[in-house]
Structure 1
Amino acid sequence: MTFLVIIIVLALVFDYINGFHDAANSIATIVSTKVLTPFQAVLWAAFFNFAAFFISKYWIGEFKIGNTVAKWVNEDFINLHVVFSGLIAAIAWNLITWWFGIPSSSSHTLMGGFLGAALAHAGGLSQNGHNVVNYAKVIPTFLFIFLAPLIGMVIAYIITVIILNICRKAIPHKADKWFRRLQLVSSALFSLGHGGNDAQKVMGIIGAAIIYHDKMKGISMDFNTFVNIYWWVPLASFTAIGLGTLSGGWKIVKTMGTRITKVTPLEGVAAETAGAATLYLTEHLAIPVSTTHTITGAIIGVGATKRLSAVRWGVTINLLWAWILTIPVSALFAAIIYFLVKLSGI
């Protein structure tokens, strides 16, 4: 029981870190365009990250993404050591990328850690004819590493072109004033999408641990039953990500808000609206995606409407390398940690 409590605390710590690591996703453009001060922006984003709990529970009626995450690994290969090792690896990689200001994906860090620890536990991709990895859940998540930013980019490009055509004859000063107000709405929409997407990932990990723990006591339950019985888990998950967002992530705010391309209030509205639309779509499809990848793609789409050279492709390519390395590096970290944990006899 003590080990389970440690895992739950670690998962909420990861959730908190995810909040300040990904705070930049929903506030980078609103800060860079000076619509809100950094402090005002994190308060705004934190509120809507937490408010996403009520959208998921009472409007959507279920936590689809949490259910997907809990099933990334075949339940026969899940135990507390696997979950513990995956979380430690995910936290380590998140802190490393945060320190260097790299907007990597918390979701894919978590996936890499979870899968890497499970594969180390099983000693390979399969055991006794059973696959360790639940490919039906993992493959869509993996494909959306590439599809989410692409979708965000295309939607942002289309929205920006439509707005520019509608506002061709608008007075620049008045239009700018209106888009500054609209950016509050678009930032709130993206924060709702971020909270609904990312807080559920931690719910899924905690769910996998608790379902395994109860199974060892002879109690069998599915994910939806787990959510109903352990109602405090979703509430704690959304609270942790909101508090993490309050802590900010200024190094990544700088990268996202100024280094990829210069963003105006109009473009901020387009990028955040496109990012939010992508997140709502993937939540409906029960596919966990990277909010970092999504908003980065949207910002690139906005920049590309000016001219392709407006996007700082050197920075973007460096980000792509970080995205590619996240899953294998996290998996390797988790496998090493798993073996160390087993050797220590914890």
Structure 2
Amino acid sequence: MDFTLIVVLVIVLALVFDFTNGFHDTANAMATPIATGAMRPKVAVTVAAILNLVGAFLSTAVATTISNGLINEGEGGVSITPELIFAGLIGAIVWNLITWLRGLPSSSSHALFGGLIGAAIIGVGIGAVNFDVVVTKVILPALIAPVIAGLAAFAATKIAYAVTRRDIGKPDGRGGFRYAQIFSSSLVALAHGTNDAQKTMGVITLTLIAGGFQAVGSPVQFWVIASCALAIAIGTYSGGWRIIRTMGSGLTEVKPAQGFAAETSTAAAILASSHLGFALSTTQVASGSVIGSGLGRRGSTVRWGMAGKIALGWVLTLPASAIMGAFAAGLASFGTIGIILDAVLGTIVIVGIFLWSRKERVSHNNAVNVNDIDDAGRVVKIRKTPRKPSRSDRKKVAS
């Protein structure tokens, strides 16, 4: 297969992944304000799309981590080839779509890293992967950031409820947090653009370096930034209604004050990570913030068994996508026929998932009007405080 053609195919496939990343992660920013009624569904995803587009232009530190750090350099540049990047992207996209079909808020970031790592190990060897970067820029942030965001959300929720403490006969002032959520959720969407769009920028830049079209260590080109920003914005506008339904339905018990605290903490953690070049999972940070905000509200308990299931899902994403990327890389090793087989099988799986999803269509009309409960939302359980019997109730009992 013509070398330039495979580079073009990889770039197109990377933008497809960027699109799936957009609709897969829309719920992280907009599920809560949709569930609390702060924003209408279509308005929410439109705002998220615009802010993802803007956020993608604000930084390239994460893109540099991927293009110049994740994969080790060889004699003629990076050791990975465009064919292997193609295989890694197939693994990431397939896993993203499988979790989307199931309505699971998994990490698109880890799906991408897993696919690339699996393909690199099969195609070049374990030495092709810079595990120091994987540990310091991917794994450690994945462990630390949700905890920090959760603690921040816990403290913010405590403060919010203390400041707006309810006095007898007086409103508590917490209704205003519903409108504050418009700001906080928008900030999460902006932060998502600064972090997640860059991952695709890094992959495309890595492909250009591997193909000899760009020098090692050179910055991300403007057309790469613009195309990735547009792709993730279009994906975000598409809504990802299945995951919004999953997260939004479970978050209906979360009060606006908690939602505001969780979203603000999520945005702060992601923006800080983007500045430091950490390739963070927005999903994990958002889940940590939800748990923290729930604990910050009096009368809540944590279902640690459910929290463990969420953590297990996070752990599985990296190896599952790595296995898929490795399988695709094995086929790619057969040359042109292998690339064709990868493309055909990948297309069959993608079309199959899409057709399967048509059996139960989810849109902005029914995304938050069902009784399904999101795992992250179910981690926090609010105990209902019994209502004190009124004078009329006591009279009825006496009679």
Give TM-score, length-normalised by structure 2: 0.78
Give the Cα–Cα distance (whole angstroms) in 1 for the partners of residues 47 and 229 of structure 2: 15
Counterpart position of 1:138:
134
String of CA shifts for 1:250-280, please: whole Å, max 9, x gaps: 2222332332672111111101000001001
Matched, 1:331 2:330: no
Give the Cα–Cα distance (whole angstroms) in 1 for the partners of residues 252 and 148 of structure 2: 18
Counterpart position of 2:160:
163
Match of 2:92 among 72, 90, 93: 90
Supply the AA of the counterpart residue of 1:15: D
Retained in 1: the 8 A contact 2:22–2:235? Answer: yes
Counterpart position of 2:20:
17
Supply the AA of the counterpart residue of 1:303: G
Supply the AA of the counterpart residue of 2:182: L
Give the Cα–Cα distance (whole angstroms) in 1 for the partners of residues 254 and 91 of structure 2: 34
C-alpha spacing 1:8/1:183, structure 2 compared with 1 (3 Å)? same
Give the Cα–Cα distance (whole angstroms) in 1 for the partners of residues 49 and 24 of structure 2: 13
Give the Cα–Cα distance (whole angstroms) in 2 for the partners of residues 167 and 254 of structure 1: 30
69-78 or 333-342: bigger deviation: 69-78
| Identical residues among aligned pairs (%) | 42
3-state SS, counterpart of residue 65 of structure 1: helix
Matches within 5 A, 1:237-316: 237-259=228-250, 262-306=253-297, 309-316=300-307
The total of aligned residue pairs comes to 326
74-83 or 235-244: bigger deviation: 74-83
Supply the AA of the counterpart residue of 2:174: A
Retained in 1: the 8 A contact 2:48–2:186? Answer: yes
Matched, 1:109 2:111: yes
Give the Cα–Cα distance (whole angstroms) in 1 for the partners of residues 202 and 180 of structure 2: 34
More helix by share: 1
String of CA shifts for 1:31-84, please: whole Å, max 9, x gaps: 11111121111011111111113433xxxxxx1000011221113221111110
Q: Report deviation, 1:134.
A: 1.2
Match of 1:30 among 24, 30, 33: 33
Matches within 5 A, 1:228-243: 230-243=221-234
Supply the AA of the counterpart residue of 1:100: R
Match of 1:4 among 1, 4, 7: 7
Matched, 1:341 2:332: yes
Retained in 1: the 8 A contact 2:51–2:186? Answer: yes
Q: Report deviation, 1:307.
A: 5.3
Match of 1:322 among 313, 317, 321: 313
Retained in 2: the 8 A contact 1:69–1:201? Answer: yes
**Larger RCO (alpha carbons 8 Å, 6+ apart):** 1
Counterpart position of 1:59:
none
Q: Report deviation, 1:160.
A: 0.7
Counterpart position of 2:180:
182
Retained in 2: the 8 A contact 1:261–1:311? Answer: no
Retained in 2: the 8 A contact 1:257–1:263? Answer: no
Retained in 2: the 8 A contact 1:260–1:300? Answer: no
3-state SS, counterpart of residue 168 of structure 1: coil
Retained in 1: the 8 A contact 2:18–2:197? Answer: yes
Q: Report deviation, 1:319.
A: 2.0
Give the Cα–Cα distance (whole angstroms) in 1 for the partners of residues 46 and 217 of structure 2: 35
Give the Cα–Cα distance (whole angstroms) in 1 for the partners of residues 303 and 42 of structure 2: 27
C-alpha spacing 1:179/1:339, structure 2 compared with 1 (3 Å)? same
- The higher radius of gyration belongs to 2
3-state SS, counterpart of residue 324 of structure 1: helix
Matched, 1:222 2:225: no
Mark the runs of 5 or more structure 1 residues left unpaired by the alignment.
57-62, 127-131
Matched, 1:43 2:46: yes
259-268 or 18-27: bigger deviation: 259-268
Counterpart position of 2:200:
202
String of CA shifts for 1:94-128, please: whole Å, max 9, x gaps: 000010011110000000011110000123x23xx
Mark the runs of 5 or more structure 2 residues left unpaired by the alignment.
340-399
3-state SS, counterpart of residue 102 of structure 1: coil
Supply the AA of the counterpart residue of 1:101: G
Counterpart position of 2:392:
none
Retained in 1: the 8 A contact 2:32–2:251? Answer: no
3-state SS, counterpart of residue 288 of structure 1: coil
Supply the AA of the counterpart residue of 2:152: I
Counterpart position of 1:129:
none
Give the Cα–Cα distance (whole angstroms) in 2 for the partners of residues 296 and 309 of structure 1: 16
Which segments of structure 1 move beyond 4 Å, counting only runs of 4 or more? Answer: 307-315
- The Cα RMSD (Å) is 1.8
Q: Report deviation, 1:329.
A: 0.8
